[in-house]
């Protein structure tokens, strides 16, 4: 199976009190059977607002429970990991974050492609 790096940044800056879209990917469900997301707050200040959104095409809906878990995990020095597989892989994924005082994040998003089987014919 092939794995694609969809997003990778060792030092993504969040300016103070400015909402930033950290991840915005579409057409995921048809391409990937698994998504692995990791975000680490490498800065000294916490993330103060978080929205993890999923949907189809340009339509996005905030997932309240995952957004709350993301916010709770990204205190200063904190990290968040999420794995989505099979039917849980959304068509679109967006993550918006804000830090009142600003901070630095590390982020990665990996996609594992659907396997393809080749059948030999006689």
Q: What are the tokens at 119?
A: 């059948």
- For residue 104, pLDDT over 70 is answered with yes
Would you put residue 86 in left (φ > 0), alpha (ψ -120 to 50) or beta? left
**Sign of the dihedral defined by the CA atoms of residues 68, 69, 72, 73, in that order:** negative
The per-residue pLDDT for range 29-75, each reduced to its tens digit, is 989 999 999 999 999 999 999 999 999 988 999 999 999 999 999 99
First to last CA, the chain: 26
Residue count of the chain, please give it: 122
* SS3 assignment, position 69: helix
pLDDT for the residue numbered 58: 86
Q: How far apart are CA 39 and CA 24, in angstroms?
A: 14
Q: Show me where the domains of the chain are located.
A: 3-113
Would you put residue 119 in left (φ > 0), alpha (ψ -120 to 50) or beta? beta
Query: According to the CATH classification, is domain 3-113 in 2.60.120?
Result: yes
């Amino acid at each position: 199976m092939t794995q694609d790096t969809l997003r990778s940044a060792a030092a993504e800056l969040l300016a103070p009190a400015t909402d930033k879209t950290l991840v915005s990917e579409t057409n995921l469900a048809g391409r990937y059977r698994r998504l692995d997301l990791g975000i680490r707050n490498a800065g000294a200040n916490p993330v103060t607002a978080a929205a993890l959104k999923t949907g189809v095409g340009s339509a996005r809906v905030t997932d309240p429970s995952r957004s709350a878990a993301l916010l709770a995990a990204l205190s200063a020095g904190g990290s968040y990991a999420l794995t989505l597989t099979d039917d849980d892989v959304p068509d679109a994924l967006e993550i918006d974050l804000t830090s009142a005082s600003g901070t630095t994040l590390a982020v990665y998003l990996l996609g594992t492609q659907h396997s393809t089987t080749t059948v030999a014919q006689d």
